[in-house]
Amino acid sequence: MPQNHKIGNVTDRLPEKPRGVVERRMRAAYHTDSSVEAEGRLLTLARELERTHPGAAASLREGLKETLIVIRLGLPPTLQPTLRSTNPIESMRSICRERARNVKRRQGGQMALRWCAAGQREAEKQFRRVNGHLHLPVLRAALEREIQGESLDRGCDTEDVA
């Protein structure tokens, strides 16, 4: 889950007064260079929120590891803002929804998939270049390392159980 979305989820569960402080602390944590440090800061914040705002604390803990992936991958700073947000995904979904609204007679699942694909093609025309796009090969390599590390970890777990 992108970080900006997580910040909104947490602050939406808070009264108006503490929102600014919590948002600043979360942003500061997400902008550290170490995922371990960021996780520590966010867990500290969750413990502080637990007593007075348990819903916000639970929201902060939910998917915490996933929100730290941008830091853990060690991506270049120019690429990070795009990956911290759901805006690119939400933009495409909005365009697809708009296109699907024109459908007058739906004829089953295959037709829905075709309209979805047509909406994505339409959305593609409106895409802009990703900031830091020259670093996309770095992202790919980092993701491949992450996936390889996960498969190695799973292999170890399997061996321990067997």
- Higher per-residue pLDDT: 60 or 150: 60
Mean of pLDDT values over 105-109: 71
Mean of pLDDT values over 57-65: 92
* Domain residue ranges in the chain: 3-72, 83-126, 133-161
85-101 pLDDT, tens digit per residue, is 777 778 888 888 877 77
Range with top average pLDDT, 50-64, 92-106, 139-153: 50-64
Pick from 29, 93, 96: nearest CA to 67 = 29
pLDDT, position 153: 53
> What angle do helix axes 109-126 and 87-100 make, rounded to 10 degrees?
130
Q: Is the predicted pLDDT of residue 22 greater than 90, yes or no?
A: yes
**34 — alpha (psi -120 to 50), left (phi > 0) or beta?**
beta
